[in-house]
Amino acid sequence: EQTCAKILRWEWRLFLVTFSFSLFSLAIYMISFYVRSMLRRNLAAWDIVFPGMYHVDNVKSQIGLGVHFIGGAYFVLMAPLQYVPWFRKKYLNFHRWNGRVAVTLLGITVVGGSIYTWEVGISQIVPEYQTSANCAMYVFGVLVFTCCVMLYYHAAISKQIDKHQLWAYRLAGMVFGSQMYFRLIFLVEAMVLGENFDDIAMTSTMFVFWTFAIPFALLGDVVYGKLHGQKHGDGEQCQLN
């Protein structure tokens, strides 16, 4: 049993390192490509990755998506630090202020994405999936925004840190989990479909966000229970260190 426990701990550490590196890479990519394109006033470059993303005649969609990229880049880059126990304890003030900034920007990110979806829609390539894809994005946005509100409420108002942490893990599962899975599906589609990738690219938006947002949030409940929920008779919490 001790050997199995050691193996599980090392697997957990390996997962954390791999997952953190993936998030860091995504954040750097967002900053170096999308945000950099904005600073250079070359928004047409967005179409290199997703044709039809940039709408030259719709300023609201440009602003919405720009805000979405900036807020999302900060959250993906800085939010993972909120989940590192030793960092949180050693730099508590940074944890508090970084959390406030990250949650605020994530809320703005949701608003920006919603504006873009309202203005031009998600699935321009496959119009018959437009309504479903848009609804999926709205549902996902409402869920993420709810997590942001509950995070702030339990940290700043109710002062119930256990519930604050629970909502933090739900948010991590929903945002990090579904987002990374979303990109994995896109990668597989691009590799398998090749030139036909654009024909069904946006259909996976509907599938991933609507089908997997809540399960990934519930996965956050499971992880929280494993890390913080189990208590021994002496009151110590069982954690994966």
Q: What integer pLDDT is reported at residue 235 of this predicted model?
A: 40
Digit-coded pLDDT (tens) for 19-29: 788 788 888 98
Q: What integer pLDDT is reported at residue 216 of this predicted model?
A: 76
For the question of whether the overall pTM of this predicted structure is more than 0.85, the answer is: no
CA–CA dist 153, 192 (Å, integer): 45
Cα dihedral sign, 17-18-23-26: positive
Res. 6 pLDDT band, cuts 50 70 90: confident
Q: What integer pLDDT is reported at residue 110 of this predicted model?
A: 93
Res. 13 pLDDT band, cuts 50 70 90: confident
Average pLDDT of the segment spanning 55-75:
92
pLDDT at 83 over 50: yes
CA–CA dist 120, 68 (Å, integer): 15
Cβ atoms within 10 A of the Cβ of 125, count? 17
Total residues belonging to the chain: 241
pLDDT at 231 over 60: no
Angle, alpha carbons 51-57-62 (nearest 5°): 65
Give the chain's end-to-end CA distance (angstroms, integer): 17
The residues that bridge with 237 in the sheet, in sequence order, are 231
Digit-coded pLDDT (tens) for 90-145: 999 999 999 999 999 999 999 999 999 899 887 665 566 677 778 878 888 898 99
Residue 108 in tokens? 């703005």
Angle, alpha carbons 158-159-163 (nearest 5°): 85
Select the more confidently predicted residue: 211 or 224. 224
- Cα 64 to Cα 25, 80, 99, 104, 117: the distances in Å are 23, 24, 23, 15, 9
Q: What integer pLDDT is reported at residue 239 of this predicted model?
A: 39
| Nearest one of 175, 166, 186, 221 to 71, comparing CA atoms | 175
Select the more confidently predicted residue: 15 or 142. 142
Res. 197 pLDDT band, cuts 50 70 90: low
